[in-house]
Amino acid sequence: MPSLTRILAAFILSALLCGAASAQPTGAAPSTPPNIVYIVSDDQGWKDVGFHGSDIQTPNIDALAAGGVRLEQFYAQPMCTPTRAALLTGRYPFRYGLQTAVILSTHTYGLALDEWLLPQALQEAGYETAIVGKWHLGHADAKYWPRQRGFDHQYGPLIGEIDYFTHEQHGVVDWYRDNKVVREPGYSTTLLGDDAVKLIDGHDTKTPLFLYLTFNAPHTPYQAPQAYLDRYKDIADPSRRAYAAQITAMDEQIGRVVAALGEKKMRDKTLIVFQSDNGGTRNPMFAGEGDMSKIKIPNDNGPYRDGKGSLYEGGTRVVAIMNWPGKIKPGSTVEGMIHVVDMYPTLVGLAGGKFDKNKPLDGLDVWPAIAGDKPSPRTEVIYNIEPFRAGVRQGDWKLIWRTPLPSAVELYNIAQDLSEKDNVAAANPDKVAALQKRANELAATMVKPLLLQTEFQALRGRLSMPPALPGEEFMFDEED
């Protein structure tokens, strides 16, 4: 995980296997709740799958895409913690203070306890719930941990970046099973696959299953077993070779999970979702711990600008697919906008769950678009709302507004300019004004970023400064 200095500096810089379906899908909600296997990769580039033209081998992910639907305008938050929070709440992270960066290992806050999470809603609807993999929504106090937030079973790391073989961060083991530290050998990707398969094998099929399978691959450090590295001997750059090996290792575990569902006769009753948590890293400041000065960043976001941490498409438009035999048309594509917050109402709706305990959702039910060839109901995407920047899209028009002086305004027509090369703000002042008005309206409801509050308070304490005046904690110097 990056140091605080690097992560805040980076923010300032960025501120400036499935066969043919047995029946044609109808788009209607199923009569019985499906099993849900929700798979998240970590920092994977948009192009870094076979079906987007990569040289990286992802045959199992490709098979799921071929047998299901590709979501080609699927948006996540620019970084890990915010995306995971958005998925599990159905609400944008600026609603509860998790919009800026990630929860660092030294931080004691977590995802607000008054948020009613997806696993809680599914648990109430009769599901067995399990998280296998990365959490990163609060680690310092057990009240924030997965078992206390709606998961019956938990296995994997609580924080973020870990060594793939020792499972350590800063020399401390970050590997847990049901609230207890586990010290065991093994490559983390393989161990997560093992646990997911074991969970499926032992599952009572009379109860629907929600499995949240969250790999730390292919996040830094770039590490893979030699057998996977050997598959990419033709890649000269060691970082890209290891990164490719990490993705292929993850893909094989996904294949094992799909096979286990088949062997358990659960496959036809299971919706599988796969996405990356944010765009692939392009800025070394967001890459991870250690000296990145001599490492060539390996992620590939295809035609999209920039990557992780930024509000450009490369940081927020992510690889995403859904697959459910008989319910989702094989080989289909949804071109309309979908945001990760939409998964909460969509999945709870499919599960027959209730919406009486959650706070007002930003997400929309997109099932008719996914399975019924209907247009996506989403016409707006909020990329983020922070004290120092905002990103808002309505229709084809996207505003990126950096507010620290000197402020900067960028406007793009995404339909005409996928790569965000042509800033047309000067030629469209009315559109800029309308989107700025929307950003200001949302900012008025924003909970101040917990990361900035925490670090500012700590800095004042170290310097023996008097208490901050209202708003003073968000004064920054910024260089373009």
The two beta strands, 128-133 and 153-156, are: parallel
Distance CA 370, CA 18 (A): 17
DSSP codes joined into one string, 357-391: SSPPPS----HHHHHS-PPPS--EEEEEEETTEEE
3 state SS of 214: strand
Q: What are the φ/ψ torsions at residue 413 (nearest 5 degrees)?
A: -95, 100
Distance CA 388, CA 403 (A): 5
| Four-CA torsion 221, 226, 228, 233, nearest 10 degrees | 100
The answer to whether 153 is a known catalytic residue is: no
CB 83, CB 136: distance < 8 Å: no
DSSP codes joined into one string, 11-50: HHHHH------SS----SPPSSPPEEEEEEESS--TT-SG
The answer to whether 80 is a known catalytic residue is: yes
Catalytic residue among 18, 52, 107, 136: 136
For residue 188 the two structure tokens come to 């983390």
DSSP assigned state of 78: S
3 state SS of 83: helix
3 state SS of 321: strand
Q: What proportions of the chain, in percent to the nearest 5, are helix, strand and coil? A: 30, 15, 50
Q: Which of 416, 417, 362 is nearest to 385 (CA)?
A: 362
Catalytic residue among 18, 52, 80, 167: 80
Distance CA 297, CA 275 (A): 20
Q: Which of 97, 93, 126, 101 is nearest to 109 (CA)?
A: 97
- What amino acid positions are annotated as catalytic residues? 80, 136
